[in-house]
Structure 1
Amino acid sequence: MPEGPSHRDRVLIIGNGMAGQRLVEALLVRPTPPSQITVVGAERVPAYNRILLSPLLAGELDHAALTLRDADWYTEQGVELILGDRVERIERQARQVITASGRRLDYDRLVLATGSRPAMPPVPGIDLQGVHGFRDLEDAATLTECAQGGGSAVVIGGGLLGLEAAEGLRKRGMAVSVLQRASRLMNRQLDATAAGLLEAELASRGLTVITDARLAAVEDDGHGRVAAVHLEDGRRLVTDCVVVAAGITPNAELGHDAELDSDRAILVDAHLTTSDPAIHALGECCQFEQHTYGLVEPIWRQVEVLAAHLAGEAVGGYVEQPSATKLKISGVSLYAFGPTEAAPEHDVLSYHDPERGDYRRLLLRDGRLEGVVLYGDTRIGPWAFEQALAGSDLNACRQALLFGPADVQALLDAAAEDADRAADSAHLQRPVEEAA
């Protein structure tokens, strides 16, 4: 097998999700795109924006608003798009894949962009009718249909996706309970204060939030449908519908079966190349070092690296960076990145206005931002994230950090001007001192 790609290689992409579709677009704009691009998707519709599934479920958007590119666009771009057909096997020696319908597709470069699926807890009854995930359009349509009859729902998971699903079902008219295994909502992104504000807001809307809740079993109604959920502490919650949003499992089986090096997902190097130089993996199905993925920001960076690599361009490798979190629930403004808990060496800045529901907490180490939690007024968030990524020294404006980038930037500019004046003064004085 060749060591590096040629820009004229035939590229076959398995997966027509957001990562696969973005890779297609990134390849098409290269100066030397591949000679042929083929995309195979198991779903019957072209790629769509999964991030917008929550507002779709809530009735705030229609299906058309989610479509990224329609089928005609692929034809116009000369990209072969095969939908509704799942790849079942990779034959590495022949450089072919075999689909469920019996197609044999050749490749020079193969990209696995197969995404993930909900991680289903291993409890009795989890396979009953009425237990759903929330990962694709079919899930959203099923949950919308469930909500038409009203009734009640239990959402397993108090993270981003679980809360968005819960709010969507509530807006559709269901009585919704959220079960969170941790002691607070969004425990990986929020500190206790912000999580408390979020829980209070959701409760005021009618959601029931149960923390420290461990699912023990899903009860059968005697006809193969869900009737209730049981918690480890003995509580029983009657419900018509269960939504599992408690993590994801990478769709890495194709790689495993093809004997690619794998751990929790398909292992890749900094150029998104697997243990087979002709095969690459991207997004939620891949693992770089110890990292797996569920947010779009790192996946977009992976796309740019892989597109350049496949187009034969000299490119630096993928580098892991922090990601910021935003919650997609109407009327709730939340922005966070970095550690949720302060370490002893952190300098903690905080501001809390309970009446306005406004909370800000910044963690600095040696004058540099490492973590931010914003609830209510989040305008400073993107600016703060840029400063954290840049490793900016913010000591000169420490006292203004909580109140917005305009004030902070003015102080930073003033400090820079002072430094320039001091340098100029030192430069002017030096010849006098030397002459003396």
Structure 2
Amino acid sequence: MRQRHPATASSEHLVIVGNGMAGHRLVEALLARPERPARITVIGAETAPAYNRILLSPLLAGEMEREALTLRDAEWYAKQGIELVLGERVETIERSARRLTTDAGRELDYDRLVLVTGSHPARPPVLGLELPGVHVFRDLHDADALARAAEQGSNAVVIGGGLLGLEAAEGLRKRGMQVSLLQRDDRLMNRQLDLTAARLLENELRGRGLDIHTDAQLERLEADANGLVCAAHLAGGTRLAADCVVVAIGIVPHTALARTAGLEVNRGVVVDEWLTTSDPAIHALGECCEHRGNLYGLVEPIWRQVEVVAERLCRPNAEGVPGYVEKPTATKLKVSGVSLYAFGPTEAEPGGHEVLSYRDPQQGDYRRLLLRDGRLEGAVLYGDTASGPWYFEQALAGRDLTACRPALLLGAADAQLLLDDALNESPQRPAKEAA
């Protein structure tokens, strides 16, 4: 039996295109509000209901069952009175008629529309990339295909040394494959890590058996007599055997539907502070959107976008509804069992930053802090990341940490004690409070 909607719910028909993590998060946010639209339809191109893509890596490694990834099953949507359409892709949007059509011929009218179409894997311009045996690692279908490839072959080449490439490489290694990983930069995870942390990570992964090539330039992929990929050729003459190849070099926003509909598109679907597109009846959020030139791939800013859109959909005419504002974000990751935490610049500006660093080779811990005029601007933590949120909090507050500089690398507790002592001894505080 479907649940009754509150009497205050809007009578509008809202259609959400995209049943990924962001689309599902929006559904959850709307259901928490009494003014939500009474009729909500969710359309997903995949045949499975929304699932946690972050857990694709342990799924590939054989460390997790498929069912553990599901966020909500189809029955849950039905109980909430939400129409869930799976396995259909929206092909056209008639904005003047406020109607969309799927590849199955389904037509739906809408009052408001939200595009949460996500992204697709970027593909480098490399000869042979179209060969059978070349994969991406983005969804359940990809994870299944790679698991089958691991059963049938022994050598894999992974292109890309970011988070997704590392997780794909580790997953295939745990499946028993010999894996070569190619990174065109001089270090792994070059956007998050400085050179020291990247080398620590590289050494750890090499010790597990991964064959890592940094500064690697992929020239072409080779096919065998049956037309299947069999090797990767690097500049300089290196040939790497490959029964399968995984491309994991980044993502590109899904904008084809928005372009066809005539919406403003740059690199992503262009939106304003309320995540509204050039059509006031259509919003876009997540990996498919572009706000003030920024694209998105991290959970934190996308979750904030969800709250903005949910509030706008439930109170479209309310004054003072806050818009989306860019905020600094910290990256907290667990890469193949190694904890990392980073924010701010990865490299020190010569003459601009004071660099504090600490390394404990025995424990596998490393910290590097970048300060300017006593204020923290960037940090990289490898191994023990417990103090990461405290460092980030100080950076956001722009707090002068000169008083606790001697203890900064020891961690949050010691540094905070020195800060508190300095505050208690400050002559500018009222006498009663200082006492």
Shorter-chain TM-score range: over 0.9
Q: Which amino acid aligns with 1:317?
A: G
Q: Does 1:318 align with 2:321?
A: no
Of 407-416 and 82-91, deviating more is 407-416
Higher relative contact order, structure no. (Cα contacts within 8 Å, ≥ 6 residues apart): 1
Counterpart for residue 423 of structure 1: 429
Identity %: 66
CA contact (8 A) 1:230 1:236 kept: yes
Deviation at 1:65, TM superposition (A): 1.1
Deviation at 1:392, TM superposition (A): 2.9
Q: Which amino acid aligns with 2:78?
A: T
- Work out the CA distance in 1 between the residues paired with 2:200 and 2:158: 20
CA contact (8 A) 1:164 1:328 kept: no
Counterpart for residue 6 of structure 2: none
Q: Does 1:376 align with 2:388?
A: no
Q: Does 1:235 align with 2:217?
A: no
Equivalent of 2:215, from 192, 212, 216? 212
Structure 1 stretches of 5 or more lacking a match? 1-5, 429-436
Which contiguous aligned blocks of 4+ residues in structure 1 show a shift greater than 6 angstroms? none
Deviation at 1:323, TM superposition (A): 2.4
CA contact (8 A) 2:17 2:117 kept: yes
- Distance change (3 Å), C-alpha of 1:91 and 1:410: same
- Work out the CA distance in 2 between the residues paired with 1:163 and 1:403: 30
Deviation at 1:281, TM superposition (A): 0.6
Equivalent of 2:394, from 379, 387, 405? 387
CA contact (8 A) 1:352 1:359 kept: yes
Q: Does 1:161 align with 2:164?
A: yes
Counterpart for residue 3 of structure 1: none
Q: Does 1:191 align with 2:194?
A: yes
* 1:37-52 mapped onto 2 (5 Å cutoff): 37-52=40-55
* 1:31-430 mapped onto 2 (5 Å cutoff): 31-312=34-315, 313=318, 314-343=320-349, 344-419=351-426, 422-425=428-431
CA contact (8 A) 2:56 2:143 kept: yes
- Work out the CA distance in 2 between the residues paired with 1:245 and 1:200: 21
- Work out the CA distance in 1 between the residues paired with 2:432 and 2:29: 50
Summarize deviations over 1:286-312 as a string: whole Å, max 9, x none.
Answer: 001111111111111111111111111
Summarize deviations over 1:146-190 as a string: whole Å, max 9, x none.
Answer: 112350100000011100110111011000010000011111111
Summarize deviations over 1:191-235 as a string: whole Å, max 9, x none.
Answer: 110011000000000001001111111111132310111112222
| TM-score, scaled relative to structure 1 | 0.93
CA contact (8 A) 2:153 2:243 kept: no
Deviation at 1:238, TM superposition (A): 1.3
Deviation at 1:327, TM superposition (A): 3.4
Of 307-316 and 273-282, deviating more is 307-316
Of 26-35 and 43-52, deviating more is 26-35
Of 114-123 and 409-418, deviating more is 409-418
Structure 2 stretches of 5 or more lacking a match? 1-8
- Work out the CA distance in 2 between the residues paired with 1:347 and 1:7: 55
Equivalent pairs counted in the alignment come to: 422
Summarize deviations over 1:71-100 as a string: whole Å, max 9, x none.
Answer: 111111111100001100111000011000
| TM-score, scaled relative to structure 2 | 0.93
- Distance change (3 Å), C-alpha of 1:274 and 1:292: same
Deviation at 1:278, TM superposition (A): 0.6
